[in-house]
């Protein structure tokens, strides 16, 4: 779902950038490049919609130009060492022309496009690949060029809660103590956090864990009737998904009750 939302916003960001295309007078000396990239922005954020990358693309005519076009492509690398792959999206990968169809027919014309792309996934590295082409009055292609923008690395800054283990210890009262170890693999602490324990009694027990720091763990202790040997015990952290975390698939751990005591764990990740 996150990927689909990202692609939709990619298209919206590009469309906004195209509407902002502009002209400007070129300086007389020194001779500016016919194509260039600048004003690079790589905005990192905890909230995915606030993650963004943009680069300003500048195009000037070559001799005999009648028409200029640009194409913006977004390349993404999912992990270090992996290849960069094209990101599909409406508005990306298509050739665009300036709103003023005569732009480029005058030697001092300048076409500037600054397309932001938002809602970037993380962790991942993104970069623009911008293509340029010039056409003459008869439609013949005069020249082409390709520019690559700088890399924009987006770290995953959100929390990632998980249940690391559940330990059951008999108490002198005849009850059991159930200690759930709740981990956070993310870069941001969070709390308070709801923790549920099912299987120890006929109803689900709910308690609140004050907080879990970044890349750390915290324990939540339940006291309830002794569990039945072989019965399933299930611990769920953040069952209502109220915490903005990036992976909900590891929020539950189920273990079998054993007597007189038991301890079970998931990989610490």
* pLDDT, tens digit, 9 for 90 and up, residues 38-81: 999 999 999 999 999 999 999 999 999 999 999 999 999 999 99
3-class DSSP assignment, residue 16? helix
Radius of gyration of the chain (CA): 28
The region of weakest confidence among 87-96, 204-213, 255-264 is 255-264
**Domains (ranges, CATH) in the chain?**
26-154 (2.60.40), 161-262 (2.60.40.10)
Q: Is the pTM of this model over 0.75?
A: no
Section 242-266 average pLDDT? 79
> Are 178 and 220 a contacting pair, CB within 8 Å?
no
Considering only the C-alpha atoms of the chain, give the largest distance between any 2 of them, rounded to a whole number of Å: 94
CA atoms within 13 Å, Cβ hemisphere of 130: 24
3-class DSSP assignment, residue 4? helix
- 259: confidence class by pLDDT, cuts 50, 70, 90: low
> Are 148 and 127 a contacting pair, CB within 8 Å?
yes
Higher pLDDT, 4 or 141: 141
Instruction: Tell me the helices (H) and strands (E) count for the chain, helix number first.
Output: 1, 18
- 260: confidence class by pLDDT, cuts 50, 70, 90: low
CA distance 53 to 27: 28
> Are 114 and 39 a contacting pair, CB within 8 Å?
yes
3-class DSSP assignment, residue 253? strand
- According to DSSP, the residues that pair with 111 across neighbouring strands are 59
pLDDT number for residue 225: 95
CA distance 261 to 167: 8
Q: Hunting for tokens 């200690």 — which residue is that?
A: 179
How, if at all, do strands 175-184 and 161-170 pair?
A: antiparallel
Burial letters 48-65, b for 16+ CB under 10 A, else e: beebbbbbbbbbbbbeeb
* pLDDT, tens digit, 9 for 90 and up, residues 16-37: 333 334 444 444 568 899 999 9
| Percentage of residues of the chain with pLDDT beyond 90 | 80
CA distance 58 to 184: 44
Section 152-168 average pLDDT? 96
- Indicate whether 247 pLDDT > 90: yes
Number of C-beta neighbours around residue 160 at 10 A: 22
- Indicate whether 93 pLDDT > 50: yes
- Indicate whether 264 pLDDT > 70: no
């Amino acid at each position: 779902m996150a990927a689909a939302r990202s692609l939709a916003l990619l298209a919206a960001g590009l469309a906004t950038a195209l509407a902002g295309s502009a002209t400007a007078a070129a300086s007389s000396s020194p001779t500016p490049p016919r194509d260039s990239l600048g004003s690079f922005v790589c905005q990192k954020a905890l909230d995915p919609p606030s993650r963004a990358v943009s680069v300003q693309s500048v195009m000037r005519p070559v001799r005999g130009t009648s028409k200029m076009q640009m194409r913006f492509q977004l390349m993404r690398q999912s992990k270090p060492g992996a290849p960069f792959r094209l990101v599909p999206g409406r508005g990306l990968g298509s050739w665009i022309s300036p709103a003023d169809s005569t732009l480029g027919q005058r030697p001092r014309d300048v076409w500037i496009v600054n397309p932001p792309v938002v809602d970037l996934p993380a962790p991942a590295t993104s970069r623009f690949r911008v293509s340029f082409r010039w056409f003459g009055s008869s439609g013949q292609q005069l020249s082409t060029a390709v520019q690559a923008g700088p890399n924009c690395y987006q770290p995953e800054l959100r929390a990632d809660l998980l249940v690391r283990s559940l330990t059951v210890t008999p108490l002198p009262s005849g009850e059991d103590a159930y200690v759930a170890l709740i981990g956070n693999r993310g870069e941001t602490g969070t709390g308070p956090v709801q923790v549920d324990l099912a299987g120890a009694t006929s109803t689900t027990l709910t308690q609140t864990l004050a907080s879990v720091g970044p890349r750390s763990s915290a324990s939540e202790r339940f006291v309830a009737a002794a569990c039945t040997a072989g019965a399933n015990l299930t611990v769920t952290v953040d069952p209502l998904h109220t915490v903005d975390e990036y992976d909900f698939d590891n929020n539950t751990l189920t273990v079998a009750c054993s007597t007189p005591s038991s301890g079970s764990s998931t990989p610490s990740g």
